[in-house]
A and B are shown apart, each in its own frame.
Chain A
Amino acid sequence: MKELFIILLSTILVNNYMLARIMGTCPFIGVSNQFDTAMGMAAAVIFVMSLAAAVTWMVQYYLLVPLGLGFLQTVSFILVIAALVQLIEMIILKMSPTLYRALGIYLPLITTNCAVLGVAVINVREGYNFIQAVISGTGGGIGFSLVLIAMAALREKLNTAPIAKSFQGFPLALIITAQMAMAFLGFSGFNLEKLFGL
C-alpha cells in the first residue's frame, strides 16, 4: 500500500511528466490560456492516462512479451492509445452527453499528447505490475493537471499585467514553465521512502 502511495506521489510531484520529464508541452502551452478550458483538459488527461496505462500494460505483457516483439512497443502503444481515445469518445457521447460536452475538443486532442505515451513506456521500463501501472498513470494525469491548472491561473493574471511586447504570449509562458520546473526540482530532494517510514 505504502509503495503505491509513493508511486502516486512521485509521479505527481517528483517525476512530474510536464515539469520533470518535459512531456506534453504542446497541449500544456496551448490550453493554459484560460482557467475553464484548463479544467476540462485536466479532467480528460487524468481519465485517458489511467485507462491508457491499464490497456498498454495488458498489450505489453499479454501480446508483445510472449511473442518476443518488444521492439514494436512504441508503434503498438500509439495505435492502442489512438483507438482507445476514439472508442472512449464514442462511449462518452452515448452514455453522458454532459461529460462529452465538458471534455469537448480536449478528448481527441489527447491522442497526440506525448505524456500519455510516456506514461505507458515508462511503466514498462520501471517494470511495474498492473496495479502499479494504473496508479502511475493516474498520478501522471493528476501531476499534469496540477501544473496545467496552476499555469492557467498564472496566465490569467498575466493578461492584465504590463508586459513588453516581445514577451507577450508564448515567450513568457515558456519562461514561466522553466521557473515552475525549477521550483518543482525541489521535490526531487524528497526522500519519499524515509518520509513514510519504509
Chain B
Amino acid sequence: MIVNSLLILGGMGLVFGVALAVAAKLLAVEHDPKVDMILGVLPGANCGACGYPGCNGLAKAISEEKAPCGSCLVGGSSVAAKIAEIMGVALEAGDGPKFSRLMCAGGKGIAKDIAEYKGIDTCAAANAVSGGFKACSYGCLGIGSCVRECPFDAMYMGEDGLPKIDDSKCTGCGKCVSVCPRKLLALRSAEEPVNVVCCSKAPIPKSKQDCSAVCIGCQICVKNCPTSAISMNGTVAVIDNSKCTKCGICVQKCPVKCIHNLFGPDSDLRVEA
C-alpha cells in the first residue's frame, strides 16, 4: 500500500514535471530579449507602484515603449539610466520619479465660494451640482476625494482646504489624478518643478474677484522668460519643461502668484516631506 501510493503520487509528480518541462520547451513563445534584460535591472519587488502588474508587466510595457524608462519609482534614477541604456534612448526630462501635484492655488480665503454644499461627500458629486459651489468652476473643491483615494496614505487636507502631498509616501501611482473630477492633479518630477497652478478656462479678462490666484492672461511671464519657455495655451499660460531653466523669474513676476516652483521651499503648495 505504502509503496503503491508512493509510486503513484511520485510517478504523477514526475510525469507532470517532465510533461511541463517538455511543454515549456515545445510551446516556448519567442519574446523580446529586452524584456529579460530590463527585468534583470528592475528591483524585482513586484510592488505595483508603477501601475503595472509586477516588474514583469512593467518590463514588457517598457520594451514595447508603452511606458517611459523612468517608470520604476522604487529604482529611481539609477535604474532609469540602466533601462535607458538597454532601450538605447537618452533619458528625457520628466523621466524621473513623479509625484502628485495640485494645479490649483485657490484655497480658503483665496477663491470665493458662492454656495454652501451639503450633499454626497465626494468631489464628483459636488461638481455635478450646477458646476460646484465655488465661484471658479475649474478650481479645487477641497472635499478630498483624492485624499480618500490615495492607497499610500500620502495625502491629507491642509488648513487652506487644499490637498497636500507627502512626498516620502507618494509613489506617483496616479490614482488621485484619475479620481479628480476637475482634473487638477498631475504627476510631476523634480525636473519639471515650475508650473502654472491654474486650470481656469474662463475667458479673458478673468475676474480676480472670484479667485485672487487665477491666471489672468497678462502674459508678463511670457514676456519675461529668458528662454521663452512660456506660452499662452488658450486662457492660461503653460511652461515648456524642455526649455525651462528653473530660474524662477516667472514665479517672482507673476502678479497673481499663480506660478509656483512645486518642488521649492517658497510655494505654499509645496509638499511637506
Question: Interface of A with B (CB < 8 Å)?
Answer: 59, 63-64, 67-69, 71-72, 75-76, 79-80, 83, 86-87, 90-91, 93-94, 97, 104-105, 160, 162
Contact = CB atoms under 8 A, between A and B. Distances in A.
Nearest to B53: A105
Contacts of A72: 5, 8-9
Given A69-B4, A76-B12, A93-B29, A83 B20 contact: yes
B153 interface: no
Contacts of A160: 120, 122, 124-125
A75 B125 CA distance: 52
Contact of A87 (B4, B8, B23, B125): B23
A71 B29 CA distance: 39
Contacts of A162: 120-121
Contacts of A63: 8, 12
Nearest to A63: B8
A5 B124 CA distance: 47
A79 B12 contact: yes
B157 interface: no
B189 to A, nearest CB: 29
Which of A64, A90, A104, A105 gathers most chain B CB within 10 Å? A90
A64 to B, nearest CB: 8
A90 B23 contact: yes
B77 to A, nearest CB: 30
A32 B27 CA distance: 32
B13 interface: yes
A79 B121 CA distance: 50
B115 to A, nearest CB: 20
A93 B27 contact: yes
Contacts of A83: 16, 19-20
B225 to A, nearest CB: 43
A7 B5 CA distance: 33
Contacts of A86: 20
B54 to A, nearest CB: 9
B12 A67 contact: no
A172 B12 CA distance: 43
B24 interface: yes
A79 B13 CA distance: 7
Contact of B5 (A59, A69, A90, A91): A69
